[in-house]
């Protein structure tokens, strides 16, 4: 059921995602693979990312940008994007349960999950701005 087949390419892709802390896109992963001396086909990188996502070793993040990002952090968490520099940080603070309850009541949906993308200005950009 959950048998893992980690080929060389999948392992290499996984290592990159696992050791990156900036939520890389497929193109980022591709570049870092090349830096490490690998030369996989583009399709293989996408396949690996999909495979790893299906096996729940990584998560695909759709943050409203044009390209998906990937994240090896699996515990439930949200993200925040800096409107100035574009960096993406993690938000561990959990969505209040009363809120999901209110949403279920309002919509009649059976609510399974919520993807939240906060927007704002990161502390670095805040200090740069006030210069």
Partner DNA sequence: TTTGAATTTAGAATAAGTATAAATCTTATT
Partner DNA sequence: AATAAGATTTATACTTATTCTAAATTCAAA
Which residue, among 74, 52, 75, 67, has the nearest Cα to 4 in the 3D structure?
A: 52
Residues 6+ apart with CB under 8 A from 125: 82, 84, 85
Question: SS3 of 104, please?
Answer: helix
Both tokens of 7, joined, read 């080929």
First to last CA, the chain: 56
Whether 114 contacts 74, CB under 8 Å: no
Stretch that binds its own copies, among 11-19, 29-37, 43-51, 122-130 (CB under 8 A): 122-130
Site string for its own copies, 15-54 (x = CB under 8 A): ----------------------------------------
Q: Which of 8, 113, 130, 131 binds its own copies (CB under 8 A)?
A: 113
User: Which positions from 62 through 81 interact with DNA, judged by CB under 7 A?
Assistant: 66-68
Is 85 a binder of its own copies (CB under 8 A)?
A: no
Whether 125 contacts 107, CB under 8 Å: no
Q: Which residues bind DNA (CB under 7 A)?
A: 5, 7-10, 25-27, 39-44, 46-48, 50, 66-68
Q: Which residues bind its own copies (CB under 8 A)?
A: 62, 64, 80, 82-83, 89, 91-93, 95-96, 98-100, 102-104, 106-123, 126
């Amino acid at each position: 059921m959950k048998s893992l087949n980690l080929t060389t390419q999948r392992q290499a892709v996984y290592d990159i995602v696992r050791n990156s802390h900036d939520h890389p896109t497929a193109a980022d992963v591709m570049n870092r693979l090349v830096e490490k001396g690998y030369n996989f086909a583009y399709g293989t990188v996408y396949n690996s990312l999909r495979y790893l996502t299906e096996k729940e070793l990584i998560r695909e993040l759709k943050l409203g940008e044009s390209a998906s990002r990937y994240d090896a952090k699996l515990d439930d968490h949200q993200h925040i994007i800096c409107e100035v520099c574009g960096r993406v940080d993690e938000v561990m603070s959990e969505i209040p349960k009363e809120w999901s309850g209110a949403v279920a009541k309002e919509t009649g949906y059976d609510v399974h999950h919520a993807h939240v993308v906060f927007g704002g200005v990161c502390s670095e950009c805040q200090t740069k701005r006030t210069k």
